[in-house]
A and B are shown apart, each in its own frame.
Chain A
Amino acid sequence: MHAYLARRVVQALVVLVLVSLGGFAVLHQAPGGPVAIYAMSPTMSAEDMERLTRQLGLDRPLHVQYAKWARGLVTANWGRSYRDGRVVLEVIVDRIPATLVLMLSAFTVAVLLGLATGVVSAVRQYSLFDHAMTLGAMVALSIPTFWLGLMGIYVFAELLHVLPPGNIGTIGAPFALADRLRHLLLPAATLGVVMVATWSRYTRASMLEVIGEDYIRTARAKGVSRGAIILKHALKNALIPLVTLAGLQLPLVFSGALVTETVFTWPGMGRLFVDSIGYRDYPVLMGILMLTATLVVVGNLAADLVYAAIDPRVRHA
């Protein structure tokens, strides 16, 4: 177990270094560079541009810039935003709670709904319900999230006037939980749709595999009730491989959150990323890229380790 743990951690570290190198290289090789946005300004002279380039350290060789940046990354000094001079870490941390609330609420609903529909699909394999879920899941995986959000706004805000079209809360109003929940409902549902489909499919597949096992037949032969077999014997074991799904899904969920936040003007990390691209705000962009990639790597590592811990069969795989 220790050897397995050590190997997985080393692998994750190598991946993280590659991630930082790749992201840094791409953003810094890009044409224009961070000072390009000032080139348009009539008040900036050529000397000003040069001074700015020197001041930001952009005239030094890439590997020097990377080394400086990487050192800062480890010591929690992520530099300052090119846009407004604020500390990058602060800019990003400010946006994390909104993204976290959105992702967690979508995730919770998706797992519960996905497990329920997946189990029913497996138990009633090839029934009308199962076929409908298969079709529904494929469509859900194919709908562009931003369009789903737009349609949600159209129906519930524009036509029915029952939900707000965007924002995290009513502007100018004091904090109220009910108001926040009303604003959360549409974005969370939009982000949750893709996740429900994946969870439902994986649960179905995993359940079907377990239901075919000998110990299920034994339980049935002993006269255990159908409900007890499905919930206590089958589902409990079918859940084990699903642990890794939570980790595997993270990149997709982050992407979905970025789009959802943009559609619903939700003040999260994804929208910050889109805004920062417009300003060529490299430090903020790199910060968010590194943070999301790190979370994905750590999430996958954690999921694999939990999987190995609860299922002794995979420990030495």
Chain B
Amino acid sequence: MSAHAATVGALATPGARQTLSGVVLARFVRHRPAAVSVVLIAALGLGAVFADRLSPRDPIYIDIGHKFARPLTRGHLLGADELGRDVLSRLLHAGRVSLSVGLAAMAVTVLVGAAVGAVAGYWGGLVDVLLLRLTDAMLSFPPIFMLLALAAFVRPSLASMTVMIGVTSWMDVTRMVRSQILTLREREFVLGARALGAPASRILARHLLPNTVGIIAVAATLAVARAILLESYVSYLGYGIQPPLASWGNMLNNAQSYFATAPWVAICPGVMITVAVTSFNFLGDGLRDALDPRHVRSRA
């Protein structure tokens, strides 16, 4: 409670006009790990977008003479791998692949999740029961098992990875959206819209779903983290993104065999995955704190 009072006190400086977005922004910035995460994500994103310009070398250029060149030698800032390819250049381009899969899979996750959750929550009854059991069934499969079972039978590509991760990850979004819709649909403004004769599709699209944007934003951010992590697992096991296209996961494919000679080949991609996933998780955490007025957990 005291933390809450302190937050409110700090924000309500006399004379300063308060806007909702201002309050949300102020709350968000107070969550320091989240603020740092935004900077890190921006850096990773810029690195991915400008990978071509930033890369010192062609990421798939094989140069056996430079095999296992140590970091900071022969023009390789982070060393070279078993084929003499520049690790830094590969990391930047792999970031492009891993982040794209993460963001696109998040879109699929949110679309499917919100649609199923909205339908289940709004219509209720048998539809709700069936969709809820389906969600439970999907949740009982350990995620990697399900993803591998799918990935092994489909020709691996960026698109197939994206769809498969999305199709196996929507359940959390569904649960959140459903419970939110359940409480919203009994409110007066929905009753009003219904009394005015608005069809269900309009009530859902104009009145209910816009009110779930906050939780969807949080769920979407966490979904990016989850998707990046899942892509790395499947690619590491050899059923995801295929070489020569680099992803952070598949760069670790054979890294174990080269520990003795080239540990940097194993260390660098893992650090990138960890930084990216941690950042998105913290960002989601910060958004949750900032968007939910009852949820004040000042962590500053």
A146: chain B residues at CB < 8 Å are 232-233, 236, 252
| Shortest Cβ gap from B137 to chain A (Å) | 4
Query: In the complex, which of the residues B141, B237, B274 contacts A293, with contact meaning CB atoms closer than 8 Å?
Result: B141
Mask: chain A, 213-234; 1 = CB below 8 Å from B; 0 = not: 0000000000000000000000
Binding site secondary structure of chain B: helix
Check B82 for interface membership: any CB of A closer than 8 A: no
Check B29 for interface membership: any CB of A closer than 8 A: no
Bound-state Cα–Cα, A11 to B252, Å:
41
Bound-state Cα–Cα, A280 to B153, Å:
8
A255: chain B residues at CB < 8 Å are 142-145, 233
Of A135, A138, A259, A297, the most chain B CB neighbours within 10 A belong to: A138
Which residues 80-137 in A have Cβ within 8 Å of B in the complex? 126, 131, 134-135
Query: In the complex, which of the residues A23, A154, A254, A277 contacts B266, with contact meaning CB atoms closer than 8 Å?
Result: A154
| Shortest Cβ gap from B91 to chain A (Å) | 14
Is there contact, CB below 8 Å, between B270 and A147?
A: yes
B266: chain A residues at CB < 8 Å are 147, 150-151, 154
Is there contact, CB below 8 Å, between B270 and A150?
A: yes
Query: In the complex, which of the residues A139, A251, A263 contacts B143, with contact meaning CB atoms closer than 8 Å?
Result: A251
Check B299 for interface membership: any CB of A closer than 8 A: yes
Q: How many residues of B contact A (CB 8 A)?
A: 46
A144-B233, A154-B266 as given contacts; A252 in contact with B142, CB under 8 Å: yes
Check A41 for interface membership: any CB of B closer than 8 A: no
Interface locus among A26-34, A59-67, A170-178, A180-188: A26-34
A23: chain B residues at CB < 8 Å are 141, 149
Bound-state Cα–Cα, A22 to B133, Å:
12
Is there contact, CB below 8 Å, between B225 and A142?
A: yes
| Shortest Cβ gap from A205 to chain B (Å) | 10
Is there contact, CB below 8 Å, between A289 and B282?
A: no
| Shortest Cβ gap from A219 to chain B (Å) | 20
The size class of the interface chain A forms with chain B is 35 or more
Is there contact, CB below 8 Å, between A151 and B232?
A: no
| Shortest Cβ gap from A101 to chain B (Å) | 18
Is there contact, CB below 8 Å, between B256 and A153?
A: yes
A142-B278, A154-B263 as given contacts; A289 in contact with B133, CB under 8 Å: no
Query: In the complex, which of the residues B146, B153, B270, B274 contacts A139, with contact meaning CB atoms closer than 8 Å?
Result: B274
Interface locus among A12-20, A45-53, A69-77, A305-313: A12-20
Is there contact, CB below 8 Å, between B141 and A292?
A: yes
Bound-state Cα–Cα, A193 to B299, Å:
23
Nearest A-chain residue to B267, judged by Cβ: A151
Query: In the complex, which of the residues B133, B274, B282 contacts A11, with contact meaning CB atoms closer than 8 Å?
Result: B133
| Shortest Cβ gap from A315 to chain B (Å) | 21
Is there contact, CB below 8 Å, between B252 and A150?
A: yes
Mask: chain A, 141-163; 1 = CB below 8 Å from B; 0 = not: 11111110011011000100000
A39: chain B residues at CB < 8 Å are none
Query: In the complex, which of the residues B145, B153, B232, B282 contacts A273, with contact meaning CB atoms closer than 8 Å?
Result: B145
Check A56 for interface membership: any CB of B closer than 8 A: no
| Shortest Cβ gap from A129 to chain B (Å) | 14
B195: chain A residues at CB < 8 Å are none
Bound-state Cα–Cα, A30 to B144, Å:
18
Is there contact, CB below 8 Å, between A277 and B273?
A: no
Is there contact, CB below 8 Å, between B278 and A259?
A: no
Check B26 for interface membership: any CB of A closer than 8 A: no
Bound-state Cα–Cα, A30 to B233, Å:
21
| Shortest Cβ gap from A231 to chain B (Å) | 25
Mask: chain B, 124-153; 1 = CB below 8 Å from A; 0 = not: 000000000110111111111110111011
Check B196 for interface membership: any CB of A closer than 8 A: no
Query: In the complex, which of the residues A134, A263, A278 contacts B299, with contact meaning CB atoms closer than 8 Å?
Result: A134
Is there contact, CB below 8 Å, between B33 and A19?
A: no
Bound-state Cα–Cα, A129 to B266, Å:
31
Check B68 for interface membership: any CB of A closer than 8 A: no
B141: chain A residues at CB < 8 Å are 19, 23, 251, 289, 292-293, 296
Bound-state Cα–Cα, A263 to B143, Å:
18
Check B107 for interface membership: any CB of A closer than 8 A: no
A11-B133, A138-B285, A142-B277 as given contacts; A297 in contact with B140, CB under 8 Å: yes
Bound-state Cα–Cα, A259 to B142, Å:
12
Is there contact, CB below 8 Å, between A26 and B233?
A: no
| Shortest Cβ gap from B124 to chain A (Å) | 17
A18-B137, A146-B252 as given contacts; A288 in contact with B145, CB under 8 Å: yes
Check B83 for interface membership: any CB of A closer than 8 A: no
Is there contact, CB below 8 Å, between B256 and A15?
A: no
13 A-B contacts (beta carbon < 8 Å): A11-B133, A15-B136, A19-B140, A26-B150, A27-B149, A30-B154, A139-B278, A142-B277, A142-B281, A158-B260, A258-B142, A277-B149, A288-B145
Per CB-CB distance, the 8 closest pairs between chain A and chain B, nearest first, are: A30-B153, A147-B270, A254-B142, A18-B137, A142-B277, A255-B144, A142-B278, A277-B152
With A15-B140, A142-B281, A252-B143 given, name 13 new contacts (CB 8 A): A18-B133, A31-B154, A138-B281, A146-B233, A147-B236, A147-B269, A154-B263, A158-B259, A255-B142, A258-B148, A273-B148, A293-B142, A297-B140
